[in-house]
C-alpha cells in the first residue's frame, strides 16, 4: 500500500454509511413495514454483522490514518496532536461497537427468549395490548432498558464517527 489515503476514506465512508443507514433508514423502514416477529428476526440477523463492522472498521480507519502518504502508526495515533481528534473518537466507535456486540446484544437476545417463553405461559404476545402478567411487565421493562442503553451507545458511536469526519475534513486540501 503506497498511499493509505484511499483506504482511509473508503473505510471511513463505509463506517459512516453503515451507521447512518442502519440507525436512521433501514431499521426505521423495517420497523414500520414488517410485522413485529419478522422485524425481530431481521434485526437479530443484522446486528451481529452491524456491530462487528462498527467494531472493526474504526480499527481499519485508525490503521490507515496518515500524514500525507505516510501512515501515522501507533506512535502517531497516540501523539498529543492526534489523540483527541483521531485516537479517542475512533477508539470510542470501536469500543461502543464491541460493547453492543459482546454485552448488550446477548442480554437483549436473552430477554427476547425469556419474553417468548412468558408469552407461551401467558397465551399473549409481549406487544399485545394489556393487561400483562407481572412477569411480562418486568421483562418488557428490562427489554426497554437494555434496548435503550444499546441505542444510546449506538448514538454515541455515531456522534464519535461524525466528530472524526469533521476532524478529517479539516485535513482535506
Domain boundaries, the chain: 5-99+150-169
Give the angle 77-83-84 at the CA atoms, nearest 5°.
140
pLDDT digits (tens, 9 = 90+) for 91-124: 999 999 999 999 999 999 999 999 999 999 999 9
Q: What is the mean pLDDT of the chain?
A: 95
pTM of the model: 0.93
Cα 121 to Cα 92: distance, rounded to the nearest angstrom: 41
Output the pLDDT for position 2: 81
- Which pLDDT belongs to residue 166? 97
pLDDT in tens, 121-162: 999 999 999 999 999 999 999 999 999 999 999 999 999 999
Per-residue pLDDT reduced to its tens digit, 63-92: 999 988 888 888 889 999 999 999 999 999
- Spell 48-77 as b/e; 16+ CB within 10 A means b: eebbebbbebbebbbbbbbeeeebbeeebb
Helix-strand-coil percent breakdown of the chain, rounded to 5?
80, 0, 15
Q: Is 67 helix (H, G, I), strand (E, B) or coil?
A: strand
Question: Is 55 in contact with 94 (CB distance < 8 Å)?
Answer: yes
Amino acid at each position: 500500500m503506497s498511499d493509505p489515503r484511499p483506504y482511509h476514506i473508503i473505510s471511513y465512508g463505509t463506517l459512516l454509511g453503515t451507521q447512518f443507514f442502519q440507525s436512521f433508514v433501514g431499521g426505521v423502514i423495517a420497523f414500520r413495514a414488517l410485522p413485529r416477529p419478522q422485524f425481530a428476526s431481521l434485526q437479530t440477523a443484522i446486528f451481529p454483522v452491524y456491530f462487528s463492522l462498527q467494531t472493526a472498521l474504526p480499527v481499519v480507519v485508525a490503521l490507515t490514518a496518515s500524514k500525507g502518504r505516510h501512515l501515522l502508526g501507533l506512535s502517531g495515533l497516540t501523539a498529543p496532536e492526534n489523540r483527541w481528534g483521531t485516537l479517542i473518537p475512533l477508539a470510542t466507535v470501536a469500543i461502543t461497537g464491541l460493547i453492543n456486540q459482546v454485552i448488550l446484544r446477548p442480554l437483549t437476545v436473552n430477554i427476547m427468549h425469556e419474553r417468548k417463553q412468558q408469552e407461551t405461559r401467558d397465551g399473549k404476545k409481549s406487544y399485545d395490548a394489556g393487561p400483562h402478567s407481572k412477569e411480562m411487565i418486568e421483562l418488557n421493562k428490562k427489554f426497554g432498558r437494555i434496548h435503550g442503553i444499546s441505542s444510546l451507545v449506538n448514538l454515541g458511536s455515531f456522534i464519535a464517527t461524525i466528530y472524526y469526519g469533521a476532524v478529517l475534513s479539516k485535513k482535506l486540501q
